[in-house]
């Protein structure tokens, strides 16, 4: 019997009102992502890609439909339980890194562990950081790092608690072409063989090469080409 999907979106709808007009950004969207699967979601600017990711992460609620992550329905789960589920099961990587400037690299990486009431010994932290080439940067502040180094820290933070679902919102959007290629290679390496699904929202067609399938968001629904 096939395992249940890590992410299941069913009949997902989200609309906004602008100037008295109702805009349906997502319209009955369905998606299932299996354990270990990597999916790229592409589409025009304003098509709703980030809205889709925020709903999948439980950072927003749909007007209709269900968002199930690792067997729990985030759309119907009240706070603070939804925050606890998100902290335990989901890793997030953003375009603008979202690192905390006053915390060291080590502290930024450990943040999800703290939120889950856990901790890492220094040896384990160094080993995990070493997988991403960060072992010599652990005591630095984010402001002392390049854009590519900051994104590597963000990836390490997203994976440190071994989430079931990794969500990446334009992770190469703030990087130059060479650095972006390096970050994509890193995504490929650190997600291969993990029991963790990846959904990456991107404008970058090169991102599709590390994914098992690419979907296009058009008129509120996902399509293959």
Instruction: Provide the pLDDT for residue 191.
Output: 85
Q: Match 């019997």 to its residue by tokens.
A: 1
Please write the tens of the pLDDT for every residue from 50-73.
Answer: 999 999 999 999 999 999 999 899
What are the phi and psi torsion angles at 122 (to 5°)? -60, -35
Which tokens is 191 given? 């997600």
Instruction: Provide the pLDDT for residue 1.
Output: 39
- Model confidence at 202, pLDDT cuts 50, 70, 90, reads very high
Spatial contact of 152 and 132, defined as CB atoms under 8 Å apart: yes
Rounded to whole angstroms, the Cα distance separating 45 from 173 reads 13
Angle at 42 between CA 56 and CA 34, to 5 degrees: 50
What mean pLDDT is reported for the chain?
90
**Would the pTM of this model clear 0.85, i.e. be above it?**
yes
Helix (H, G, I), strand (E, B) or coil at 184: helix
Rounded to whole angstroms, the Cα distance separating 129 from 107 reads 12
Q: Which stretches does DSSP call E strand in the chain? A: 7-18, 21-33, 38-42, 64-69, 72-73, 90-94, 165-169, 197-201, 213-218, 221-223
Please write the tens of the pLDDT for every residue from 154-191.
Answer: 999 999 998 999 999 999 888 898 888 988 888 888 88
Mean pLDDT, range 134-153, rounded to an integer: 94
Dihedral sign (CA 202, 204, 209, 215): positive
Instruction: Provide the pLDDT for residue 2.
Output: 54
Please write the tens of the pLDDT for every residue from 70-116.
Answer: 989 988 888 888 888 888 999 999 988 999 999 999 999 999 998 88
Spatial contact of 182 and 33, defined as CB atoms under 8 Å apart: no
Instruction: Provide the pLDDT for residue 21.
Output: 87
Which tokens is 209 given? 């090469």
What angle do helix axes 147-159 and 177-191 make, rounded to 10 degrees? 20
Domains of the chain and CATH, by start: 7-223 (3.40.50.300)
Rounded to whole angstroms, the Cα distance separating 148 from 117 reads 29
Which tokens is 176 given? 């130059």
Instruction: Tell me if the bond preceding 178 is cis, omega within 30° of 0.
Output: no
Rounded to whole angstroms, the Cα distance separating 14 from 12 reads 7
């Amino acid at each position: 019997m096939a395992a249940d999907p890590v992410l299941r979106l069913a009949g997902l709808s989200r609309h906004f009102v602008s100037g008295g007009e109702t805009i349906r950004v997502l319209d009955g969207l369905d998606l299932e992502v299996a354990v270990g699967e990597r999916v790229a979601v592409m589409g025009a600017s304003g098509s709703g890609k980030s809205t889709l990711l925020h709903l999948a992460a439980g950072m927003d609620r749909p007007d209709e439909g269900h968002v199930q992550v690792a067997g729990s329905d985030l759309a119907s789960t009240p706070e603070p339980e939804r925050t606890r589920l998100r902290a335990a099961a989901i890793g997030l990587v953003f375009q603008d890194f979202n690192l905390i400037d006053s915390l060291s690299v080590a502290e930024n990486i450990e943040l999800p562990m703290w939120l889950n009431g856990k901790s890492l010994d220094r040896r384990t932290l160094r080993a995990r950081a070493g997988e991403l080439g960060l072992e010599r940067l652990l005591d630095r502040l984010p402001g002392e790092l390049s854009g590519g180094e900051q994104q590597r820290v963000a990836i390490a933070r997203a994976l440190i608690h071994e989430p079931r679902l990794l969500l990446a919102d334009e992770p190469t959007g703030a990087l130059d072409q060479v650095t972006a290629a390096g970050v994509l290679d890193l995504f490929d390496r650190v997600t291969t063989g993990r029991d963790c699904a990846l959904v990456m929202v991107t404008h970058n067609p090169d991102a599709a090469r590390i994914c098992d399938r690419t979907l296009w968001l058009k008129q509120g629904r996902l399509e293959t080409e």
